[in-house]
Amino acid sequence: MPTTPPPLDFDHKPGFEIATKHKNAIRELHGFGGKTTEELMARYKLTKSTIHHVLDYEHPERARLTRTGRPKLLTDTRVDEVIEYLLETWDNRCLDWTHLRDELKLLCSPDHLITRLK
């Protein structure tokens, strides 16, 4: 179910990014509200090409491929390796944290490992 568009507090400065809430409002007014491009141009004081750019974009926000975020301490493949190691023998299952960390050269905390293994 669509959300209600935000109130008209739109004060866009040319050359700056349009806020996500206003992009969503433009899409909702066009898609669910049945507003035409000309009505959106008058309401938001934007050019036709800018309105079409917002409407044609398939994702709500631009994907920033160069931003990967903080690297994971344990990747999915590394978690699989830990699980396989623990399943090999009964002795491996009975290891305490320090032995497990030293043998597998883990950099994470025990709490992080427990969370990732769940």
pLDDT for the residue numbered 13: 74
pLDDT tens digits along 31-79: 777 888 888 888 888 888 888 888 887 665 555 666 666 667 788 888 8
pLDDT, tens digit (0-9, with 9 covering 90-100), for 89-104: 887 777 788 888 888 8
Mean pLDDT of 1-27: 71
Q: The domain containing residue 34 runs over which residues?
A: 1-62
In a domain, 67, yes or no: no
Domain assignment present for residue 71? The answer is no
Q: 3-state SS string over the chain?
A: CCCCCCCCCCCCCCCCCCCHHHHHHHHHHHHCCCCCHHHHHHHHCCCHHHHHHHHHCCCCCCCCCCCCCCCCCCCHHHHHHHHHHHHHCHHHHCCCHHHHHHHHCCCCCHHHHHHHHC
- Structural domains counted in the chain: 2
Domain co-membership, 35 together with 3: yes
Query: 15, 40, 62 — which closes off a domain?
Result: 62
Q: Which of 37, 62, 87 is the last residue of a domain?
A: 62
pTM of the prediction? Answer: 0.41
Question: Is residue 70 one of the residues assigned to a domain?
Answer: no
